[in-house]
Structure 1
Amino acid sequence: MKYLQLFILFTITLTITSSCEKNDAVIPQLTSVNVVHAVINASAIKVNTTGSNITYTSYTDSIRFGAFKLYSLVASDATPLSIVASSDTTKPLFNAELFTSAGEMYSLYLTGQYPQADTVWVREEMSNYTDSLIGIRFVNLSPNSNAIKVNIKGNATQLEANNLGYKQITAFKQYAAKTTNPNYQFEVRDAATSTLLTSFTLSYTRFHNHTLVIKGLTGVTGTNAISVFSVAPY
């Protein structure tokens, strides 16, 4: 009987100890990185967030030119991120260990002309809009453009961005978001000559922030011609 009591006591102690150990499990702290693809002549890119080698041929996740994707990563002072073009996965376009903090959001803009890539890294500071407002900003990722300026169509004298050089990004600016005005039409011009380079109509999401990315090349036509795309609101 004495041995049975000791066995039961040992079993209870072991169970309690195991339960305590389970409660001490470390929960990874996450961060968000939005990868934006504006690399000319790179039709699609693949993003490796594992920190290890992967077989890209069987890795279906990709980002097309003029698009983006949001990734959740473990926050660290050395968060691994590797990006390749789907046309040649043996040569990274980008390979680095990023400093990220838990609960933060970052944007990684990829630009330039394949096989080279330039980057813009942004730690985001988003505004929350409680009224009928949105936020809009502009980033110039056109490698051969002069400084640009942006105006709302029909009002060329009031500038929404001015002298925006390559890889430069504006702060978010507030715009009214009312049912009577469901979109904004922007014109992108050469800052020095006022020549119209391209235009874009933004159909926005209320209470959110929108980034308008100016990509491509001036003076060309087709897929690589200068144009604008919107990064998903957040």
Structure 2
Amino acid sequence: MLLFLIIGLSIGCNKDINDPYSYSAGIVVFNASTSMPSEIKVNFTNEESNFTAAEQIGYYNFDGKFANGSTALGLIAGKPTSLKVIAVADSTKLIFNESVTPHPGDIYSLFITGAGDETSGLLVKENIQKNVDSVTGVRFINLSPNAGAISVNIQGQPNGSGVATLGFKQITSFEPYPVSSPDQFYILEIRNADSGDLLSTYFLNQLPVFGNTTLIIRGLVGGNPGFDITRVNN
């Protein structure tokens, strides 16, 4: 989805092939905030405090394939841009405020998590490579504020054999998961890394061969919204 967004913006803005401002970059914003209500608004226009018509993103926003709380937006390459985010529940203060100057084709991911005064963001400049074999690259990000460090294993394999320990707001690199047929699937177990207690299982299927997918661990253990795993194909 983001690739098509970038291509479309590039074509639409391409008035001068030598003008770096005619090229576009992109950003995907993920709302994993556990505040209630959890909606956020983003303002990437460089206008100081204009959130009136800003993009609103809900916890279960649908990206066309998964209800992962995301929205894809365009950025103008070569132009310094302030990335500002507020919570709809309290629009008086910014919960994220950083500036980027993207190059043509750059892609960013911005993950918003936490609740109340503890809400914050993690900005990742992506460097996603296409796989050259019959595999899917799989990575994990821990956005659950109260789960502690988590581990991941494929069901039937030792605890932590997939990811030994992943703290809050940490993200792994993409690791290859073989895809031997269109029906290939994996049952993943998410555990507390210290105790080994099982927190959740996730049925990973419809793997994008030669592509990548990010599994987003979010929500609250024993709370609302509940602890769960969602995903986005990169």
Same structural fold, with TM-score higher than 0.5 when normalized by the shorter chain: yes
Q: RMSD of the TM alignment (CA)?
A: 2.4
2:226 aligned partner, one-letter code? A
Does residue 1:39 correspond to 2:33, yes or no?
yes
Does the CA-based 8 Å contact 1:45-1:86 persist in structure 2?
A: yes
Aligned partners of 1:105, 1:25: CA distance in 2, in Å? 21
Residues 13-58 of structure 1: CA deviation (Å, up to 9, x unaligned) = xxxxxxxxx86883523221111111111422222221114352x5
1:85 aligned partner, one-letter code? A
Q: Hey, what does 1:19 align to over in structure 2?
A: none
Aligned partners of 1:25, 1:175: CA distance in 2, in Å? 41
Please give the TM-score of this superposition, normalised by the length of structure 1.
0.79
Q: Hey, what does 1:213 align to over in structure 2?
A: 216
Aligned partners of 1:213, 1:192: CA distance in 2, in Å? 20
Q: Hey, what does 1:48 align to over in structure 2?
A: 43
Identify unmatched segments of 5+ residues in structure 2: 1-14, 60-67
2:121 aligned partner, one-letter code? T
Deviation of 1:125 (Å): 1.3
Count of residues in Structure 1 that have an aligned counterpart in Structure 2: 208
Q: Hey, what does 1:118 align to over in structure 2?
A: 120
Q: Which has more radius of gyration?
A: 1
Q: Hey, what does 2:108 align to over in structure 1?
A: 106
Does residue 1:26 correspond to 2:19, yes or no?
yes
Match of 2:186 among 184, 187, 190: 184
Residues 128-174 of structure 1: CA deviation (Å, up to 9, x unaligned) = 12432111001111122222110112223461111111111111001
2:43 aligned partner, one-letter code? N
Aligned partners of 1:198, 1:121: CA distance in 2, in Å? 26
Task: Tell me the percent identity.
Answer: 32
Map 1:3-18 → 2, pairs under 5 A: none
Please give the TM-score of this superposition, normalised by the length of structure 2.
0.79
Identify unmatched segments of 5+ residues in structure 1: 1-21
Greater mean deviation of Cα atoms: 90-99 or 201-210: 90-99
